[in-house]
Structure 1
């Protein structure tokens, strides 16, 4: 070999060696552009190449390249892909959540993160951006954006719910916080969402239809899962102040940061309302949540969270037909109230064994007390009988009651990815031990015969109800999914629940005080099977069959009952649905159709001696179609439509001597929809303007189908502006000043209306001090 060739080879070898040893290292962190939380598992690669790296649990990455300021592609499922030029200094890259339905990620469908397009259920997600834009002061202002959902505003964060069911206070809905029930089974409270810390919610997922196969009882009409804030990758320190012209004032605070292996979140708010449009409707609420995460390693994390809440509200009650017709907002009440104290603690240890295996275990503690002087328990002494009227006109009867419980619970689950057919197996066990007490004492009430107001009361030494119940719930569940062929995903799950109710009556058993001491056991298997089929990358459909169950509530089982003899109610659901992206990044839609049959439902039956008792003799039928559409016809304009047409009927229902067979259920509008348009002009960065239209169709006010309420149309207008750390907003609610009722009902003797708020303006301002740090 010639000397020149040897020299050339040597030079080439030196250059190669030099290049291989002069790699540049670029470091950074990838976060969510809206929540500023770290994104773990995001990819940082050369375009059209798998060469690169992924982010760790803290969202950090280290990218090695021989190039100077290389351009890379940053991507993660559920976010818009970005091309970024890396720089020498450590940089923070913000990914924007994707608006594409096909890219949406949900966690409630199988208790783990998965693509929406692989979930054979009707599930909707209210993302962080929607929550931030809406500036809601109660959850109904955002939940009602979901097709087929109507959360009835009863004032001061109190509510009823309607998801594939009529507006009801029954235990047909399950409310979760990070996948864990807010309250224990058997002690359902239709006002449970007032116990939530709205300032601590990052996004909300709504499953429509039974989900007992994963989450247990009460998950019949739907499941609402509130996903809470996680520690942010960059510091956040935010304060906001808002109020309206109906006496509502609220102060919110949020602080979050990550330091090394530690992550911290502190959030809460205090709200107060005085001298509102309706008499005797003041309230105040304070709540705070704290979360501390510790990453032992990139694979092992311990998360501890605590929420405390203190609530008090006047209980003004509804108004009658005369008052509603006269636009009178006077209240008969002067002393009734509801007060709630709630504490929830959760500690979750999660370990990622490898890329295919993960285990988590959660310890939960709840401490909850509800004290009431309830307006709905007040009964006039003067009443009509078959022979005329009897009783005193200035006398009424009521009660003061207190319901409390503690919970000690354990939930453990494991996820295993399998090599066969892209299969995933998720299984878990849970135990919930919840001792509870209930005490009700009689009060004698004075009524003014002229103003019709209940002016005061005296508490007699008379105990109406006094008992203790130990509620134990043991459960196991398994979820299996696989893809037998390309594009097809099959999902099956089943759960077994065992309930033990230990009832201890502290009074002599009677038809009022309750049953004798007893122990009742219930058990149920809840299966679910379904599949999804993706016709293309932009369209697909699904079908499923599921069962759900509801055990008797403690009050149904034992209060005012001589002999407890009830079984769980069972619901059978058949459902199909689908989704499509008609025009990429411009127009998408999803739909679902369902048939839900309820059996063994608990109703009150009138006996021959005139008394009543609860029995499992009711059947109902629920069917409907739900549709959602999202469009971006032109840049900076977005349109959303959510609608549902449904029919709810009594199939076999004879209650207290009244035959409702074949009738439509009361409080069940056939048609309801919510539509919204947002405009965010490019020429004024940070400005947003939106208008929302909520429609509730007419519905029967009584189960005998004698009277209908016309329903309503209401419009809300919102505007906001954000500049760096400062944000201001104005929401004009009920913009046309429509006079209507949130809900209306009729009994055999009277009408009842919950009047909606007239037009009002909610004004707010916030400042994020965390902007000063980056």
Structure 2
């Protein structure tokens, strides 16, 4: 560690200790406050409590009471996100049941949601990532790092739908949906700014503010993040920005939104060797100092809520998106450079009408047009069947259209039934810009077009047993066409045009209970997936895999007394192969009934919140990840880990909060990702104990 980093470390730890001393002194001293200040604090606390217990969501592309939804939905409020002060989306999302986002190097990540951690085309296309209800990327051009462009640092709420999405959502909502919601420009006045300083030369500055009246409103925000890098030759510079304008008229409300993202990342690769993440001489090294990732992304949308249209309520959202990325594929022997980009034009629409007191009809139509390009070039000499030179150079034009309909029937005050169907038609026009032949392991198809039509559906029932108890059950199918990289970045063992759309059938049921001092939700699910596409240990693509997924989840929020609150998320999942496959590597032979690799059965996140007094608050968080296999044959594994984090905040004035965060307070040696490939155990090491301090100001 260099002298600058050491000085920064000692300074941060000294400031944190000083803050702890102030806390103890403050608690021991006379803590009386003036009556008016106390009343204001209590009113704010009551308002926060109301936000926690009465949450509206956008599962149906409109605000809806969460308690009445026949689906498993997790959410993170702005209050909770302020408390976490996350440096990576994984710190937030892993607080929810059945969610496990593995942090890679920098801002990279892989996702599991009622699933194993998925990579490649499966990792890209199995989850639908939204910003204010609009997909961040086109369905066939998804990114395994799906949260890159999301405005998580400026969000007012994040919602996660577990399991196949409602028929209002289409391609890629196989295992679930992540929806990042920004502030409403028609309901925002004032703003906030925050600054966080942390070890490893990290700094995070964000600001957002808005002003609205009864007719219009403006909202803007920016986040600037710098990471000097925990490991050698690694680091991140990232800027995110958003702008929104709202206009309200008697006939409609309009919200125009712009979201921007720029990322420059120096990437660290896996450390290799048995339990290398425990070796202090290895864990901070970087075997791939040449690796990098650069990204630019923009999304513009205009949401029109039409109050009355011949008896219908309508929402129409046209959008334009653009993204461009280049990165070094350091995780493959080729270490090839990939450059990709795409731009899209499309709209989302839905029309809702109450037919009578019992029936409600919802219909809609979504459309998307995308043009995308990809090149892959290997600069290093031939290695195995990875050949030097150009691997792929192609363009794909994609057209997607999807009508859908859903009927909701409420036969009595306590019962509600719904049935819906969606038809997605996708057409890809592929233009090969190089010679159509095979080079080494790479197969380049001639120009062609491919079409896929998928039908997804959902049947659901819900029952309000008492004013505190709510039961639900649903039967749903999710589907997605192949990613364009699945179809056209081919290898020599594949047959051109052999891929089918992936489908997942799901059954789930759940129970919610809510009262003034505690709330909990228990849900169970069983799912089967067909035409699962992935890359095997020989580096070749499997096109017809079958898997099964089953488990249960618990989310609880309990007030132990007036000062202590306990929140926990617990999930158990069994994710298994349902087919056999032999490969040349014994450690990767797939046998039906074996666990899928990188699929821990147990996940838990538990938090104890302590309101020390009217100004001080602390949170102790425990994160548990069960052991899991790191190869398909279940012959290598990672032992799992338990990590603890501590957060402390002080609010000397209603508009000012000072905070400190200690991550990994026990200084545990663990891995954020463990894998076995090319005959080696390899890991992304988790960070040792580190401290962050910051300030947030509201106006």
TM-score between both structures, scaled by the size of structure 1: 0.79
| Deviating more after overlay: 687-696 vs 315-324 | 315-324
- Equivalent position to 2:675, from 741, 745, 756: 745
Aligned to 1:342: 297
Residue pairs, 1:123-134, within 5 angstroms: 123-134=73-84
Aligned to 1:485: 412
Q: Distance in 1 between matches of 2:188 and 2:411?
A: 43
Residue pairs, 1:490-639, within 5 angstroms: 490-511=417-438, 512-561=442-491, 563-581=496-514, 584-603=515-534, 614=541, 616-639=543-566
- Equivalent position to 2:626, from 692, 697, 703: 697
Q: Say whether residues 1:279 and 2:216 are aligned partners.
A: no
Q: Distance in 2 between matches of 1:124 and 1:361?
A: 26
Alpha-carbon offset, residue 725 of structure 1: 2.1
Q: Distance in 2 between matches of 1:532 and 1:233?
A: 32
Aligned to 1:470: 397
C-alpha change, 1:612 and 1:247, in structure 2 (3 Å) is closer
Alpha-carbon offset, residue 599 of structure 1: 1.1
Q: Distance in 2 between matches of 1:233 and 1:595?
A: 40
Aligned to 1:333: 288
Whether the 8 Å CA contact 1:589–1:627 is kept in 2: the answer is: yes
Alpha-carbon offset, residue 613 of structure 1: 6.2
Whether the 8 Å CA contact 1:612–1:656 is kept in 2: the answer is: no
Alpha-carbon offset, residue 463 of structure 1: 2.3
C-alpha change, 1:472 and 1:94, in structure 2 (3 Å) is farther
Whether the 8 Å CA contact 1:101–1:116 is kept in 2: the answer is: no
Q: Any idea what SS the aligned residue of 2:331 has?
A: helix
Aligned to 2:319: 364
Aligned to 1:265: 219
C-alpha change, 1:438 and 1:259, in structure 2 (3 Å) is same
C-alpha change, 1:633 and 1:212, in structure 2 (3 Å) is closer
| Deviating more after overlay: 740-749 vs 323-332 | 323-332
Q: Any idea what SS the aligned residue of 2:79 has?
A: helix
Q: Distance in 2 between matches of 1:94 and 1:548?
A: 40
Q: Say whether residues 1:294 and 2:260 are aligned partners.
A: no
> Cα deviation per residue 1:234-283 (whole Å; 9 max; x = unaligned)?
64242221121121111111111114522011011111111x33112111
Q: Say whether residues 1:305 and 2:238 are aligned partners.
A: no
Q: Any idea what SS the aligned residue of 1:570 has?
A: strand
C-alpha change, 1:95 and 1:431, in structure 2 (3 Å) is farther
Aligned to 2:610: 679
Q: Distance in 1 between matches of 2:133 and 2:111?
A: 19
Whether the 8 Å CA contact 1:100–1:585 is kept in 2: the answer is: no
Q: Distance in 2 between matches of 1:732 and 1:440?
A: 41
Q: Distance in 1 between matches of 2:471 and 2:244?
A: 38
Q: Distance in 1 between matches of 2:679 and 2:453?
A: 40
> Cα deviation per residue 1:283-336 (whole Å; 9 max; x = unaligned)?
100111000011133x41221111111101112111112543423121122221
| Deviating more after overlay: 742-751 vs 228-237 | 228-237
- Equivalent position to 1:165, from 89, 111, 115: 115
Residue pairs, 1:6-85, within 5 angstroms: none
Whether the 8 Å CA contact 1:619–1:653 is kept in 2: the answer is: no
Q: Say whether residues 1:436 and 2:390 are aligned partners.
A: no
Q: Distance in 2 between matches of 1:182 and 1:740?
A: 32
Q: How many residue pairs are counted as aligned between the two chains? A: 636
Q: Distance in 2 between matches of 1:202 and 1:122?
A: 20
How much is the aligned-residue C-alpha RMSD, in angstroms?
2.4
Q: Distance in 1 between matches of 2:141 and 2:94?
A: 25
Whether the 8 Å CA contact 2:630–2:674 is kept in 1: the answer is: yes
C-alpha change, 1:445 and 1:678, in structure 2 (3 Å) is farther
Alpha-carbon offset, residue 103 of structure 1: 3.9
Q: Say whether residues 1:106 and 2:57 are aligned partners.
A: yes
Q: Say whether residues 1:218 and 2:172 are aligned partners.
A: yes
Whether the 8 Å CA contact 1:98–1:104 is kept in 2: the answer is: no
Residue pairs, 1:378-397, within 5 angstroms: 379=333, 397=334
Q: Any idea what SS the aligned residue of 2:156 has?
A: strand
C-alpha change, 1:398 and 1:362, in structure 2 (3 Å) is same
Q: Say whether residues 1:758 and 2:688 are aligned partners.
A: yes
Whether the 8 Å CA contact 2:590–2:632 is kept in 1: the answer is: no
- Equivalent position to 1:116, from 66, 71, 81: 66
Whether the 8 Å CA contact 1:592–1:626 is kept in 2: the answer is: yes
TM-score between both structures, scaled by the size of structure 2: 0.87
C-alpha change, 1:103 and 1:330, in structure 2 (3 Å) is closer
Q: Distance in 2 between matches of 1:209 and 1:296?
A: 37
Alpha-carbon offset, residue 527 of structure 1: 0.6
> Cα deviation per residue 1:437-475 (whole Å; 9 max; x = unaligned)?
00122212799xxxxxxxxxxxx9932211000111100
Aligned to 1:183: 137
Q: Distance in 2 between matches of 1:517 and 1:355?
A: 46
Q: Say whether residues 1:403 and 2:340 are aligned partners.
A: yes
Q: Distance in 1 between matches of 2:541 and 2:631?
A: 20
Whether the 8 Å CA contact 1:254–1:265 is kept in 2: the answer is: yes
Q: Distance in 1 between matches of 2:100 and 2:571?
A: 10
Q: Distance in 2 between matches of 1:212 and 1:481?
A: 13
